[in-house]
Amino acid sequence: MRSLFRAVARGRPHSTEHELLEALDAPVCAVCACTHRASTHYLNGVVREGVNDVALRREWRRRGGICGRHWRVFRQLESPPLPAAILTEDLLGSRLAGGVREAIDCPACEIERTAERRYLRALGGLEPEAVRSALASGRGFLCLRHVEGTAAGEVREAFEDRLRQILDELAEFRRRQDYRFADEPAGPERDSWLRAIRALGGEV
Ligand SMILES: [Zn+2]
Ligand SMILES: [Zn+2]
């Protein structure tokens, strides 16, 4: 696994705390976004350099490759088809040769679990002031699962307040669907339904 984590570390220019605060700019769960970025960096590293790494290919064979969700990410990477051909030839060949696996032990999921723990720990160490200020200027939040994974305290309260704000915006969004208010210009509530889906479902 060491080579896997090296691939992730190379793509990580900022501190964990800084990354989280930056992620609060976009209308997504900051922890989901950062963990997804970690696994995408890993898969990018595999595509760029991993196919020539004998140990990594052995590791993928042993684990049965990656899960369906991460094959979808893999497929969407801007990469030439050759690395995909080399990796899948390995995996399909070993399965057909009798390498039976009961379940896939996805290395990209493992990268995400490790990253998720790191980001949740970092959240607990953030200054509440810095979080409030990032929430005030950005549109980010934490999904329910990640709010529940955050240690109790001022930082968690700030994220709980943000979810209540999304709930208020949903009511406002519904109010504006009424024809009597249809002429009012759309406000920040216009994508509240999308943020609510992400609050409920995480990385959606
Ligand atoms: Zn999340
Ligand atoms: Zn996976």
Å from CA of 143 to ligand 1 middle: 4
- The pLDDT tens digits of the residues spanning 11-46 come to 444 589 999 999 999 999 999 999 999 999 999 999
The structural domains of the chain, with segments of one domain joined by +, span: 2-201
Structure confidence at residue 104 as a pLDDT band (50, 70, 90) = very high
Å from CA of 144 to ligand 2 middle: 21
- The pLDDT tens digits of the residues spanning 70-84 come to 999 999 998 778 999
pTM score of the predicted model: 0.85
Examine the pLDDT at 109 and tell me if it is beyond 70: yes
The bound ligand whose nearest atom lies closest to the alpha carbon of 104 is 2
Examine the pLDDT at 2 and tell me if it is beyond 90: no
Å from CA of 15 to ligand 2 middle: 24
Å from CA of 34 to ligand 1 middle: 9
- 142 or 102, which is more confident: 142
Q: Report in angstroms the alpha-carbon separations of 80 from 49, 86, 120, 128, 162.
A: 13, 11, 35, 44, 41
- Tell me phi and psi for residue 14, to 5 degrees: -110, 170
130: burial class by Cβ within 10 Å (0-12, 13-18, 19+)?
middle
Å from CA of 158 to ligand 2 middle: 31
